[in-house]
Amino acid sequence: MLSYLQYLFALVIASSGLAPPDVPAPAPDVAGILLTIVAFGLAWTTIGALVARRLRSAGDDAVPVYLRTMALGRVAVLGVFWFLAQTLQAKEIAHTLGVAHWVLVPHLLRFLPFAALLALLRGGLHRAGARLRLEPPGLLATLSLEFRQALLPLGPLLPLLVVWDVVFLADPASWLGAVRDVFVALPVAQAALSLGVFLLAMLAMPFLLRRAWHAEPLPAGPLRTRLEAYAESVGLRAREMLVWPTGGAQMNAAVVGALPRFRYVFLTDGLIETLGPDEIEAVFAHEAGHARRGHVLLFFGFTAVLVLSSLLPDALGASFAGPLADLDPLVRSIAMVLIWIGVVFGWVSRRFEQEADVFGIDTVPFPPAADGTPRDPSEHPFARALERIAAETGGIREITGWRHFSIADRVEFVRAYLTDAGVRARYRRSIRLLRGTLITLIGGFALLAALRVPGELAAAPVIWRTARDPAAKLLEPLRRATTPAPATARARAFFEAARLAQRAGEPERALRWLRSAAALSPGDAYVLAAYAQALGEAERPRGAAIVWRDLLALPDAPELLRERAEAALAGASAAAD
């Protein structure tokens, strides 16, 4: 799980608590960052040497020892990256270099320390992994494989980051600035844009992965002919079958792409070199099961539920985040990723993997013995393929993964499914229940979003005209001071309504909205700063002073806002004297 989720966790860590692009930010502690990275590298070089020495006498436990050490290392990478980004301010490197307004570049710069830590971890453990044939012989090939695989979790997110950077970094007076105002004020429109970009990225991912993984078409020959015949028999359509070169270090396969014209089936060189033709066909059948059962589209719907649940206040988002509401925002974000993607998505994914197993079991030929008696289920090509992979890798047969049951459990399921009608009946009931629940959940959230569309369509022209009105008041100091989102969804809605009212020249209405936002988020320094500044501009110095003092009483108020509050109170005191 960690090899996939670590990139999402790193993205959350690197993006949490950022200063707005046009506000001065704390300078990164460059010396501390470099010393920490060097110390981490030395530590894992030492640990890697100790692990490699231990593996000589570990026997069958060698692979589990290595995998546990790698998992511990990935956790350590995230912990140290947290320290670098949040304590030593590595996340603000884009400000220091003057590129905070650039598109995508700041995200990549914030990722650099994480990439360095991960490279040092893989370098430290490379000798042990190569000895076990879990890694390519060369370190550069290992690092290349690691970071190319990062395209799976991050690839669909990169276009989304680009689009939102273009919109949210736009000049407030430009038409893109008006677009930003529309999307900020209309949550369903914002969700639709995000999901639309995400879907387009998913369609492009197979082509990107083919290039990144240097995959080439499966050569003509008996194996290709066999797989093409199987694909024809089950109605699998794909653009191409590709060989994914890993230096023989991985025995894996993947189907990538939601639609036939945008779909590739990848088979690693290690898989083709290790398994027999009927076993490769069985693995190919498993991947065909993912495509024929629509798992990619269902996972997209699963993602849509996550996006919509965070935007619809009357849906799952409010109740799902409720127990986490009192946590630090960064901890809360990581907890949401871990719960929703790590646990819920992982649980669903394992059931879909089992459904793909069943598709392969049902469609790969497995005739009776010559005398007409049923054959031993352990002789099924899919069971033999799994056992061969376990034997070649060593020590992984009993290990349950994030997205897969253990090989031992999968082989036992093949046996039970082929021999026990009750097992087949229970499986079919459970998978129908799961698919029905998911489709109902996706449809329910789509309906909740659709019910809000008419209201948002009516509001969009008004917001657009207000944003494009050259006579509107563009209170840039207020906008810069309050760029981070307020603490609650309702407070954010009130805050955005106040900002639009200010731009439309309606200060009294703006004050009412800000008063409501401050009441809902009394611990949000940015909301209090906006409210105090608006009170001051409305010539209500006494009320402004009270709110500025409330801000100073917050233990975690940003230093920039504290300085502004102290300056405002000092100015009010001088005026009174």
Q: What structural domains and CATH numbers belong to the chain?
A: 1-149 (no CATH), 476-576 (1.25.40.10)
Calculate mean pLDDT across residues 178-192.
81
Average pLDDT, the chain: 84
pLDDT at 307: 80
pLDDT at 556: 80
Percentage of the chain exceeding pLDDT 90: 36
Q: Look at 575 and 88; give whichever has higher pLDDT.
A: 88
Q: Look at 30 and 24; give whichever has higher pLDDT.
A: 30
pLDDT at 337: 75
pLDDT band at 396 (very low <50, low <70, confident <90, very high): confident
In this structure, of 4-13, 247-256, 441-450, 487-496, the range with the lowest mean pLDDT score is 487-496
CB-side exposure of 282: number of CA atoms within 13 Å? 24
Percentage of the chain exceeding pLDDT 70: 87
Burial 156-173 (b: 16+ CB within 10 A, else e): bbbbbbebbbebebbeee
Is 257 in a helix, a strand, or coil?
Answer: coil
Name the H helices within 293-420.
295-311, 316-321, 329-337, 346-363, 381-393, 407-419
Gap between the Cα atoms of 47 and 123, Å rounded: 11
Q: Which two tokens stand for residue 177?
A: 């600035």
What is the maximal distance between C-alpha atoms in the chain?
108
Gap between the Cα atoms of 300 and 296, Å rounded: 6
pLDDT band at 312 (very low <50, low <70, confident <90, very high): low
pLDDT at 478: 41
Calculate mean pLDDT across residues 434-463.
85
pLDDT at 224: 96
Sign of CA dihedral 209, 214, 219, 224: negative
248 alpha-carbon distance from chain centroid: 28
Calculate mean pLDDT across residues 48-56.
85
Gap between the Cα atoms of 257 and 294, Å rounded: 10
Model pLDDT for residues 499-553, shown as the tens digit of each residue: 767 766 677 878 887 888 888 778 888 888 888 888 888 888 888 889 999 889 9
pLDDT at 493: 66
